[in-house]
Chains A and B, each alone.
Chain A
Amino acid sequence: MSALAGFRFQLRELPHRPDHLLALVTAPLMTLVFLAITRHAGRADLAGHAVLAPALIALWQMALLVAGELVAAERENGSLEALVATPSSFAAVIIGRVAAVTLVSLLGFVEAWLAAWAVFGVVVTVAHPVVFAATVLVSALAMAGTAGLMSAVFVLTRSARTFQNSLSYPFYVLGGVIVPVSLLPDWLAAPSRAVFLSWSSDLLRDAVDASTVEGVLPRLGAIAGLGFLGLCAGLLALRRAVDRLRRTGTLGHA
C-alpha cells in the first residue's frame, strides 16, 4: 500500500519535472547517432543494436539521475522527516516511487523505435516478441530494485554526483549496452556478469534478431536474481540510511 502511494505520487510529479525527463529527450537523438554510424559502416544488420542501446541507456540514466536521487532530494526539499514520521514504510514508499520512474523510463524503447522509423525509415522488427517483453519487464523490476539501493547509498554518502558520474559510462560498458559483453576482454566480461544489465542487453538483442534464443529462462532468472539481490540490498540500505539519519539527527539537513 505504501509502495502504491509512492508509485502514484511519482507518476503525478514526473510530468512537472522536465529536468527529470532529460534521458527521454536524449534517447531518440542517440538512436539517430547510433543508427547513422551502423548504416555508414554498411551494417544495416546492426539496426537492432542501434535502437536497443539508447533505450537501455535511458533506463539506466533515469534510474541513476532521478530514482537514485529521490531520498537525497527529499532531504533537500525538507520533506524527509515528515515522510519518515508517517506510519507508512519509508523503504516501500521509495521503492514504489523508484518503480514509477523506471516505468516511465521504458518510454525510451518506444522513442528509439519511433526515431529509427521516422528519420531513417528503419523498422526494427522483434523476432521473439514474448521473450522481448518478458526481458523488458524483468529488467525494469531489476532496475527498480537496483535504483532503490542507489538512492540509499547516495543519501548515506552525500555525494550523489560522484556516484552518478562514475556509475554511468562504466556501466554502459559493463552492462554490454553498446557493445556486447562477449566482445569485451575477458577480465571485463567476468565482472560484467554481476551486472543485471549485461544479461538484459544480450537477451534483448537476441530477442530482436537471433533466429533462436537459447536458455531464455535461466537468463531471465539471472536478471531477476540480480535484480532481487539489488532490491533486498536496497530495502536494507534504505532502512539503514533512515536509522542512521535518525541517530545522527541529520534527516532534516539540506
Chain B
Amino acid sequence: MPDTDPAIRVERLHRTFGGGRRRRETVALDHIDLTIPAGEVHGLLGPNGAGKTTLCKILSTVLLPTGGTATVDGHDVVRETAAVRRSVGIVFGGERGLYTRLTARANLEFWAALYGLRGRGLSQRVDALLERFGLTDRAHERVEGFSRGMKQRLHLARGLVGDPRVVLLDEPTTGMDPVAAHDFRDLVRELRAEGRTVLLTTHDMAEAEAVCDRVSLVDGGRILATERPATLGTWISRYASVEARDVPPSTVDELRALPGVRAVHHVPPDRIRVETGAEDAAPAVLRLLVDAGVGDVSTALPSLADVYLHVIGDRGMRVNK
C-alpha cells in the first residue's frame, strides 16, 4: 500500500443510536470528515457525549457506521476488517477489560497470541512490553491485586501488543495520577517517534496541547475545528482566570477597567474571580492585585467548557443527549 495513504481517512461518517419505536434517535456522529496523515498524533477533544468513543469504535471495527466511510491505513473499516484489525491497536480507558484472575504476563500472552504471535516472538514481545510499562517486577502477580494505574499501564501494553501502525487511545489517562499522566505523555511521544499514528481522545486541554500535532474539537457528533496545539495554548492563556480574596472595592474597579478583562465576579463570601479574554490580561491582573497588596491570589486555567463557550461561541457546552 502506498505510503501516501493517510493513516485515517473519515468521510461523511455518520452514526446514530436507537430511533426505534419508542426511543429517540441519538446522533453520535454527524457526517464528520477527518484526515489524519501517517505519523501524526491527533487529539479528539470534546465534552461527554461528543462522539469521541463512537469514532474510536468505528475505526477499530467494533462498531459499524450508519453511513459514510472510514479507512485505516487505506483499508475500509466495514469491508476490510481483517486488514484494519491488523493495523489498529486500541486502548479504552478505565479498568475493565482485563482478566483479573490471571497474571499480567498471562493476559499479555493471550492477546499476543490473538495478534498472531507464537513462541519466541511472542515471549520477546511480551517481555518488552512489560519492561516498557514498568510491570516486569509484577508480571507474575494476578491483575486483581493491581492498582488502578498499573491496570491502565497493562491496558496500554495490551493495546500495543500487535505492534499497531495506528493506535487509538480513548481517554487512557482517566484516573491516572499526575506522575503517571506525565509518563503517558512521554509514551505518546515515543509512539510518534516510532512512526505510529495516534488518535487520542481526552477532556484535558493541557494534555491535548502537550502531546498532539493537531487537535480536533468535537461536540454533538461534529468536528467544530481542527487546530494546532499552539492555538489551544493561546486559548488557554487567553481565557485564564484569576481568583483573589479581600480585594478592596477600588481595586475591583481598577480591575474592571483593565484591557482584556471580561468580567469580575464576586464569589461569596469574600472572593472575586477575574475572567480574562486576552493573552496578556492575566499577568496584568496579577500585577495589579499584588501592587494593591492583595495576598491571597491564584490563577486557574480555563476549563474545556470555558474554551468551548468562548471559542465556539453560542453553542457552548451542551451535553449531547
Contacts and interface: CB of A to CB of B under 8 A. Distances in A.
B114 A87 contact: yes
Given A82-B92, A85-B90, A9 B113 contact: yes
Nearest to A81: B62
Interface in A31-54: none
A121 interface: no
Contacts of B115: 86-88
B201 to A, nearest CB: 15
Contacts of B221: none
B57 interface: yes
Interface in A61-100: 77-79, 81-88, 93
B110 A77 contact: no
A249 B98 CA distance: 20
Nearest to A242: B62
Contacts of B17: 249
A85 B102 contact: no
Interface string B64-92: 10000000000000000010011010101
A78 B94 contact: yes
A77 B96 contact: yes
A246 interface: yes
Interface residues of B, number: 32
Interface residues of A, number: 27
Given A85-B60, A85-B90, A251-B63, A78 B116 contact: no
Interface string A1-45: 110110011001100110000000000000000000000000000
Nearest to B66: A247
A7 to B, nearest CB: 10
A252 B62 CA distance: 9
B97 A77 contact: yes
B146 interface: no
B155 to A, nearest CB: 9
B106 interface: yes
Contacts of B101: 13, 16-17
A201 B114 CA distance: 36
B69 to A, nearest CB: 16
Contacts of B82: 87
Contact of A12 (B15, B62, B88, B106): B106
A17 B110 CA distance: 17
B9 interface: no
A12 B142 CA distance: 12
Contact of B62 (A1, A13, A84, A93): A84
Contacts of A87: 82, 85-86, 114-116, 162
Contact of B57 (A1, A4, A77, A249): A249
A5 B106 contact: no
Interface of B: 15, 17, 54, 57, 60-64, 82, 85-86, 88, 90, 92, 94, 96-99, 101-102, 106, 110-111, 113-116, 142, 158, 162
24 contacts: A1-B116, A5-B113, A5-B114, A8-B113, A12-B102, A78-B97, A79-B99, A81-B90, A81-B92, A82-B90, A82-B97, A82-B158, A83-B114, A85-B61, A86-B85, A86-B111, A86-B115, A86-B162, A88-B114, A88-B115, A88-B116, A246-B64, A251-B63, A252-B62
